Amino acid sequence: MSTFFRGPVCGTDNCRSRLWRIIDGRRTCQYGHVMEGDVEFNDDEDDINSMGVITRRLNLTTNATGSFRSSMNSQSQLSQKEDANQKVYGAEGERLFLRCFQYILKLQCTWLIEHQNFPPVFTDVVKLMWMRFIRSLEIADQRSATGDDNGGTSMQVPGKKPRLSLLSSICLLYMANTHLRMPVHSCDYIRWICSMKLVYFKANLHLPALWRKQLPNYYHQVLEGGKTPSEGQFFHKLAHMCFAVQLSSCFSTYVSYEALTLKLLFAVKLPPQILFDVKELIRISGESDSSFCLYENHRERVERLYQCSDLRIAAYFILAVRYKILQDDPFFVNYCLAWLEIEGSEDSPAATEDLVTKLSHDAASLHQNNHRWSDQQTTDYLDWMEQHFLPASTKTQTEAQTIDHRIASKKLYSMFPLEKAPTGSAEDRATRPSYVDKTQEAYLEISDALAHGVRVPRQKQTPMLAQLAEAKLLREISYRFAVSQPQLRECLGHLQSRICKTRNSMNCAS
């Protein structure tokens, strides 16, 4: 406690005290009056040696598990992470996007080689096409820069700079296997991406973690895949990619119509003799084998989809079935009656990939056709949901978590353990019917229906049967090629008018 010392007279309320002391830096008289405007500061240096031991308080924070960590270290680590995970934009961001796209393209090639037995040279062909596409991007940038330097007065080069999407990668894969003359077509790729076997939906989740954090959000939207291709989007993109790569100048573009016709035959379960009718229709229309090539278009949309070889072959197939029924062939008419009879059968076999592709093409069919599924089809669909859809939807959720969150999640699951779902053994998977078994089962079912004595309809009923068969084929083929039924009907109308004109010219010439 401070001692009193003498000073001036206080004077507050006529106080005559001259004794003062310092309390909290303020001069106070012996009667408690505080002198106004007087504050004392301690400017003397402290003697550290005489003050004893000095301790400092260390601010510590806790993590998700309750352990301590230094705030200074955490802040420095956080600043380093923020610098490493900062988004990149401009030219650097575009280069990172191309690198990510190339990484996804490599994953797709690896899956095709490992699971679909594609030859190893397939990757080299895709690399060559990808390099030519990158070159087309550079040329487009140079042309746009030249146009800007000239004040926009230069002649505009036909075609815009090709825009990349995940559908572009599928087009590159299809162009490569077409060059190698492999029996794989657009309907196969659409089935693979709809069944989520080929990397397409949520493809950005397969990228390295650092790339995902540095890639801008608008590029993430491109690499997410979006919706299932529909309304001929695949063929619009394919024609534009073929033009960008200049496919016909360096690669083979021939599409085998025999292989695609056989694929459609087995898909819809019709007799193989239709192949000869398709070849006859192609001969009558004046087309040759070399006319079925990948179509190139400098625009982003194809005005006439019948110029695409796959859709034109599918239209020839539907026309051949219609004309075969109108010819009143007894066997084929009986076959089509049995084929239409088992259309709504619950026990009719169908591959899980086909069910998923149909639902992806037309989501409204889920509520309309789920009662037609057999127990085996429902089980296969639920297995697909568990084995393919859910893992792809929740991928990298654990990778995006910090170490603290992973430890906390591990402790949480140890407190509440979940029983693992029983997985099918190797013997169960081996006993599942293969594609060949399902195809044989479908043909045997139609054969059994024929054996029960289906009658040949009268001549007046044959056109109605042709309409029913054509309507079913339009439904079955449109979703396999990801086009709408009106678009496929437009191809049919064009080919029909072309065949009629060719026949008329041949009759006039004779």
Name residues whose C-beta falls within 8 Å of residue 477's C-beta, 6 or more positions apart in sequence.
264, 268, 314, 317, 318, 488
Give the tokens for residue 53: 């031991």
Q: Which range (167-171, 238-242, 251-255, 337-341) has the least confidence?
A: 337-341
Q: Locate the DSSP E strands across 369-427.
A: none
Gap between the Cα atoms of 225 and 427, Å rounded:
35
As a whole number, mean pLDDT of residues 33-62 equals 62
Q: What is the rounded CA–CA span in Å between residue 15 and residue 9?
A: 8
Q: What is the mean pLDDT of residues 156-183?
A: 82
Q: What is the mean pLDDT of residues 359-383?
A: 56
Phi (first) and psi of residue 95, to 5 degrees: -65, -40
Give the mean pLDDT of the chain: 78
Q: What does the pLDDT read at residue 57? A: 58
**391 vs 158, more confident:** 391
Burial class (CB in 10 A: 0-12, 13-18, 19+), 233: middle
User: Of all residues in the chain, what percent carry a pLDDT higher than 90?
Assistant: 24
Express each pLDDT in 238-285 by its tens digit.
999 999 999 999 899 999 999 999 999 988 889 888 999 999 999 888
pLDDT at residue 377 in the model: 60
Given a contact cutoff of 8 angstroms between Cβ atoms, the answer to whether 171 and 194 are in contact is: no
The band of 161, judged by pLDDT with boundaries at 50, 70 and 90, is low
Read off the pLDDT band of 463 (50, 70, 90): confident
pLDDT tens digits along 1-12: 568 888 888 888
- pLDDT higher for 489 or 80? 489
**Which whole number is the average pLDDT over 319-334?**
87
Q: For residue 113, what pLDDT band results from cuts at 50, 70 and 90?
A: very high
CA distances from 297 to 93, 232, 238, 241, 253 (A): 29, 14, 9, 8, 14
